[in-house]
């Protein structure tokens, strides 16, 4: 029983903490931009279900904490269905109801009667807030703590590997991969991991001159200490940086901001690359994770950070630092997910607003209904697929099979 409680604390508590912070920032993005445009808001809720704690401020906004901490929402006044955009007939009915209750002109304070550009900015503000959160975290980390930079010098070339067949040699220093300049050996690993079965062009420094090499990473299963077993590209290079090769750089605030934006862009670029490879059949999608995978990763980060030292104070500091970095990565993922052009997500709303801007009228109700059903099916399917991946990585089926045997 105590062990179970310990596992819950290690895996579930960090996950809920990170998720709550990210969701709060996301919803604050919607809320703050909406209030800046004078939109009336009924409720700001973190968590779903019955209210645990609530407070209504002088503006009539209910601030609520729900008992199920797996999301949140902002409810605009007059918003009967947060997943839909009223069509022309629905807007007229809503307008009449508002005017009848509050008088002529009152509808101008309601979300659906704001100009399209304002509604689009309000919707986009949620994902934007996620990206801003990540950039802010990275900026603070790069300026306060700095970042380690390790040249990509090859310490070992494993026999019969893709690297050996391509002609890599010990002490080669990788300076470009796929035309992209490399400053850290971890950048090489990231490029290789997402290129299984696809030729990669390398430029290495060897004896003071540049040498061009082409290697095709092979797919292999790697047991990642944080995310569990994953299938990634493998080249067959060993890295063993010497103490004198490791440089620690603390950036001044303005340069830290530039690096933070670049880091956020790199994460988004990696995500798009992986999705593109899934679409072209080059990846199976087994790296996609759902809530279980994120919870496992949060627990892995927590355990790894705590194991780095036996001092309780340093353990707390390490765990806090690692979870902050983890929150930045997850925040980028949630921001990106919400921008997908799928009805029920922010990107779907923006898609509808794009139609409205061109056609000068909202999307017809019957089209919206079909769109939301298809979008919900796609989203549920994606979540089920990601959850299946998570269960396989957790080896749950092997565990259940062992119980049954």
Q: Which of 291, 369, 356 is nearest to 330 (CA)?
A: 291
Q: What Cα–Cα distance (Å) separates residue 159 from each residue in 164, 185, 237, 374?
A: 6, 20, 10, 50
| Rounded CA separation 148/245 (Å) | 10
Given 27, 107, 210, 245, the catalytic residue: 27
Interacting residues of 309 by C-beta distance below 8 A, sequence separation 6+: 315, 318
Question: Three-state DSSP class for 313?
Answer: helix
27 part of the active site:
yes
Largest CA distance in the chain: 82
Give CA 385 to chain center in angstroms.
17
Q: Are 120 and 37 in contact (CB under 8 A)?
A: no
Q: What is the full DSSP assignment across 369-386?
A: HHHHHHHHHHHHHHHHHH
CB atoms within 10 A of CB 192: 22
92 burial type by CB count under 10 A (0-12 exposed, 13-18 middle, 19+ buried): exposed
Beta-carbon contacts of residue 264 (< 8 Å; ≥ 6 apart):
131, 134, 135, 138, 332
For the four alpha carbons of 150, 153, 155 and 160, in that order, the dihedral sign comes to positive
User: How far is Cα of residue 281 from the mean position of the Cα atoms in its chain?
Assistant: 23
Which residues are catalytically annotated? 27
């Amino acid at each position: 029983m105590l062990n179970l409680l310990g596992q819950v604390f290690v895996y579930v508590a960090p996950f809920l903490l990170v998720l709550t912070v990210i969701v709060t920032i996301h919803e604050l993005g919607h809320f703050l931009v909406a209030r800046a445009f004078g939109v009336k808001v009924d409720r700001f809720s973190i968590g779903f279900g019955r209210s645990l704690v609530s407070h209504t401020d002088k503006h009539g906004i209910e601030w609520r904490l729900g008992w199920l901490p797996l999301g949140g929402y902002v409810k605009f006044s007059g918003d009967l269905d947060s997943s839909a955009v009223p069509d022309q007939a629905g807007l007229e009915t809503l307008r009449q109801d508002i005017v009848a209750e509050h008088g002529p002109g009152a509808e101008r304070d309601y979300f659906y009667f704001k100009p399209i550009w304002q509604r689009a900015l309000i919707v986009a503000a949620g994902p934007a807030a996620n990206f801003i959160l990540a950039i802010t975290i990275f900026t603070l980390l790069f300026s306060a703590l700095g970042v380690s930079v390790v040249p990509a010098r090859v310490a070992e070339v494993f026999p019969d590997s893709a690297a050996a067949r391509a002609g890599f040699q010990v002490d080669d220093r990788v300076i470009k991969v796929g035309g992209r300049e490399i400053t850290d050996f971890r950048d090489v690993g990231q490029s290789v991991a997402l290129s299984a079965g696809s030729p990669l062009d390398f430029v290495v420094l060897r004896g003071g001159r540049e040498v061009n090499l082409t290697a095709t990473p092979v797919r292999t299963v790697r047991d990642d200490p944080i995310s569990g077993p994953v299938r990634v590209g493998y080249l067959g290079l060993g890295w063993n940086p010497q103490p004198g090769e490791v440089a620690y750089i603390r950036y001044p605030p303005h340069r830290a901001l530039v690096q933070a934006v670049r880091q956020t862009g790199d994460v988004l670029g990696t995500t798009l690359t992986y999705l593109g490879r899934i679409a072209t059949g080059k990846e199976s999608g087994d790296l996609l994770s759902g809530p279980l995978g994120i919870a496992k990763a949060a627990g892995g980060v927590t355990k790894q950070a705590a194991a780095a030292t036996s001092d309780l104070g340093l353990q707390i500091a390490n765990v806090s630092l690692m979870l902050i970095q983890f929150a930045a990565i997850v925040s980028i993922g949630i921001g990106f997910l919400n921008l997908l052009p799928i009805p029920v997500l922010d990107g779907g709303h923006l898609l509808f607003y794009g139609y409205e801007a061109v056609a000068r009228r909202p999307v017809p109700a019957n089209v919206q209904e079909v769109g939301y059903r298809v979008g919900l099916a796609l989203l549920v399917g994606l979540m089920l697929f990601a959850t299946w991946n998570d269960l396989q990585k957790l080896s749950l089926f092997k565990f259940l099979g062992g119980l049954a045997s």
